[in-house]
Amino acid sequence: MNKLLLGAAIIICIIVAGGALYLNKGDNMQNFAKTDADFTAMWNHFLENDVKPHGNLDTQMRYLTVLAAHVATQSVNEYKLILAQALDDKVSPIAIKEMLYQTVPYAGMAKAYDFFDATNEVMSAKGVKLPLPSQAVTTPDNRLEKGLDTQCAIFGKEQILSMRKNAPDDLKHIQDYLSANCFGDYYTRNGLNIQQRELITFAVLVSMGGADAQAKAHAQANINVGNDRQVLLDVISGLLPYIGYPRSLNGIAAVDTVTKE
């Protein structure tokens, strides 16, 4: 069996209902249970008895953070299965698209590109009419101003203005990119609020690894906008089965550093 078929045969999908995680035990999973019974039993027990009872994230945010993690880890096949279940569980298509857009400034378009195709494919199969209504609220003329306002609201005006002022001349354009593009183009959009966007950003940074400083910065940003320590730990707990222990523990370290400070 080639890698794609094997991947399709062993994929485990979460179903979120009433704030709990469940396992998709379809035909593919049943076939996998025959070939890898020990692993299947361990995995089922872990999700059902350990992960499922933990945390208080609502259904939508559980799905959105897990889907964002799959973009970060480049797990497109499992992403499609989870996305299909999210739509079946009435998660807003607009929220899903906004989650995907929010991953781009952090994971990069090279990682997100295939997930645009995957998202459109699944949404079309589920009868979602595309394109969805625009959620943009800025224009090319005001995106820098609006983005800077949003950036200051999240991180603090003094910190952001100081960072911009003290940037070397050859890096000032990066500060403009951050304000106009990352925050002006993305964070200002409708469809998700700032708290939700920061949780998605945190999920991406923790899941892709190699971004510990940014994970810490956005742990603090989450605290600033009202997502407390427990909410961040609930996100990491839900991601752990999919991103593994090392990246999860790095994420916890970021939360610990911020909340202890």
Q: What is the pLDDT of residue 119?
A: 98
Q: What angle do CA 253, 259, 261 make, to 5 degrees?
A: 100
Q: Where in the chain is the domain with CATH 1.20.1290.10?
A: 3-135+189-260
Averaged pLDDT for residues 183-201: 98
Check pLDDT > 60 for residue 71.
yes
Q: What angle do CA 101, 103, 106 make, to 5 degrees?
A: 130
Burial pattern 94-118, b for ≥16 Cβ within 10 A else e, equals bbbbbbbbbbbbbbeeebbeebeeb
Residue 191, number of CB atoms within 10 A of its CB: 21
Q: What is the pLDDT of residue 29?
A: 63
Query: Using alpha carbons only, how large is the chain's radius of gyration in Å?
Result: 19
At residue 151, φ and ψ (nearest 5 deg) are -60, -45
Q: What is the pLDDT of residue 3?
A: 46
Location of structure tokens 């979460």: 14
Residue 208 has, within 13 A of its CA and on its CB side, a CA count of 22
Q: What is the pLDDT of residue 4?
A: 46
Q: What is the pLDDT of residue 27?
A: 52
Question: Residue 33 — very low, low, confident or very high, per pLDDT cuts 50/70/90?
Answer: confident
Residue 251 · residue 215 · CB < 8 Å: yes
The CATH superfamily holding the domain 3-135+189-260 is AhpD-like (1.20.1290.10)
Describe the crossing of helices 109-125 and 59-73 by its angle, rounded to 10 degrees. 130
- pTM, full prediction: 0.88
Q: What angle do CA 138, 139, 141 make, to 5 degrees?
A: 125
Location of structure tokens 């911020």: 258
Question: Residue 47 — very low, low, confident or very high, per pLDDT cuts 50/70/90?
Answer: confident
Query: What share of the chain in percent tops pLDDT 70?
Result: 88
**Rounded Cα gap, residues 173 and 212, in angstroms:** 24
Question: Residue 113 — very low, low, confident or very high, per pLDDT cuts 50/70/90?
Answer: very high
Q: What is the pLDDT of residue 23?
A: 37
Tokens for 162, please give them: 């100081």
Averaged pLDDT for residues 79-89: 95
Q: What is the pLDDT of residue 261?
A: 66
Of residues 21 and 104, which shows the higher confidence score? 104
Q: Which of 254, 173, 257 is nearest to 211 (CA)?
A: 254
Check pLDDT > 50 for residue 142.
yes
